[in-house]
Amino acid sequence: MAKEIRHPLKQLRFTGGRFEQNKGWLDFDVLSELQVYRKLLVETAKEEWKRRNPGRERHPKGFEQNIRLGFHEIREGSCTVPVERLMEVEDNYLFEQQYVEDEVDEAARIIDATLIAVREDAPFPDRLPASIVPMFEEWGKTLAPNEGIVLDGQNGNGPRFDAAIRERILNTKKDRYEDKVDLVGEVRAAELKAREGGSFTILLENGGSVPGVFTDEQETSITQALHEHKQVRLRIVGLGEFEASGQLRRILRVDHLEERPAGETPFDPDAPPIWETIAEIGKSIPEEEWDKVPTDLAANLDHYLYGEPKEGER
């Protein structure tokens, strides 16, 4: 048989302004802040699932619907909302022994890390999907300038979100976009994450370097390419984040890896055929130069090259 359990995820503590004056009381309009936070979590979790499952375009059936978030109290003496997940498990399930963190737990950490990075003027975390950033504009609309939301863990001391942080997030990313990447380079660094996957740096043929992330399944290919970086190059196909100028900023997801020997010239499917190249060269030669070419060149090539008698004079 199945049963439902509640898994503590995050505590949203509303601070400043009216929340300090009326502890334990939340106006109805503030509930929209919880809805936007849920949207941020769900969309980030969906992108995290894609990153962990390269090559799979569709999420499992009911993926979003199964992320059931809610709260059953506002903590007495404060304006703290304990956000929990409602999960269906087998009747003999022992939470402390069997619970395995998933994409939703990671999504909560990614959002926390983003707020911390903005506060410290540091780069956004690698796993923050660029498509999520515009959603921050919806968050915090009901808050006054002197109010904010602190995203506490179970032991408190979480990052703060307020109007100033929101503005800095939106300004940092507004001119960036995502697109496909297909490149070849030399792996120069790799670092394993504590929980899953890792990050790497690849040196491109133009001398620039780009950071990226990889999954557990791609770990062997990345680390082996690093170990053999003098002899091996990697072709990487995936999704990248670009500056408005078109410069690749980072690799967000690797969908395909292909090992190549160093020094090998990669095949360019867009290169013109050799006959078209020759024709273009021919067009650049003036007509008067073409008039100097003998009309019997093909038949008497040896005569014009080596001075031998012409055909019929031998």
Q: What is the per-residue pLDDT across 2-14, written as a single tens digit (0 to 9) for each?
A: 788 888 899 999 9
pLDDT confidence of residue 58: 82
Would you say 46 and 112 are in contact if contact means Cβ atoms under 8 Å apart? no
Q: Which two structure tokens, joined as six digits, stand for 134?
A: 């515009």
Q: What is the pLDDT of residues 266-308, one digit of tens each?
A: 555 666 777 777 777 777 778 877 777 777 767 777 776 667 7
Burial of 281 (0-12, 13-18, 19+ CB in 10 A): exposed
Sorted by sequence, the CB contacts under 8 Å of residue 290 that are 6+ apart come out as none
* Single pTM value for the model: 0.61
Would you say 150 and 22 are in contact if contact means Cβ atoms under 8 Å apart? no
Sorted by sequence, the CB contacts under 8 Å of residue 113 that are 6+ apart come out as 125, 128
Instruction: Place domain 177-261 in its CATH homologous superfamily.
Output: Nucleic acid-binding proteins (2.40.50.140)
Select from 184, 176, 181 the least CA-distant residue to 254: 181
Rg of the Cα trace of the chain? 30
Mean pLDDT of 238-253: 85
* 122 pLDDT more than 90: no
pLDDT confidence of residue 285: 78
Select from 205, 238, 209 the least CA-distant residue to 221: 238
Burial of 60 (0-12, 13-18, 19+ CB in 10 A): exposed
Q: Which two structure tokens, joined as six digits, stand for 253?
A: 């997801």
Fill in the DSSP letter of residue 147. Answer: -
Mean pLDDT of 174-197: 83
Burial of 262 (0-12, 13-18, 19+ CB in 10 A): exposed
DSSP 3-state percent helix, strand, coil across the chain (nearest 5): 35, 30, 40
In order, the DSSP letters of 23-41 are TT---GGGHHHHHHHHHHH
pLDDT confidence of residue 96: 53
pLDDT confidence of residue 15: 92
Would you say 137 and 248 are in contact if contact means Cβ atoms under 8 Å apart? no
Give the C-alpha separation, 230 to 44, whole Å.
Answer: 37
Domain segments of the chain as ranges: 2-173, 177-261, 274-306
Q: Which two structure tokens, joined as six digits, stand for 232?
A: 């091996």
Q: What is the pLDDT of residues 102-113, one digit of tens each?
A: 899 999 999 999
Average pLDDT, the chain: 84
Give the C-alpha separation, 231 to 114, whole Å.
Answer: 37
Give the C-alpha separation, 184 to 266, whole Å.
Answer: 8
Choose between 155 and 188: higher pLDDT.
Answer: 188
**How many percent of the chain have pLDDT more than 90?**
42
Mean pLDDT of 19-46: 91
Q: What is the pLDDT of residues 226-242, one digit of tens each?
A: 999 999 999 999 998 88
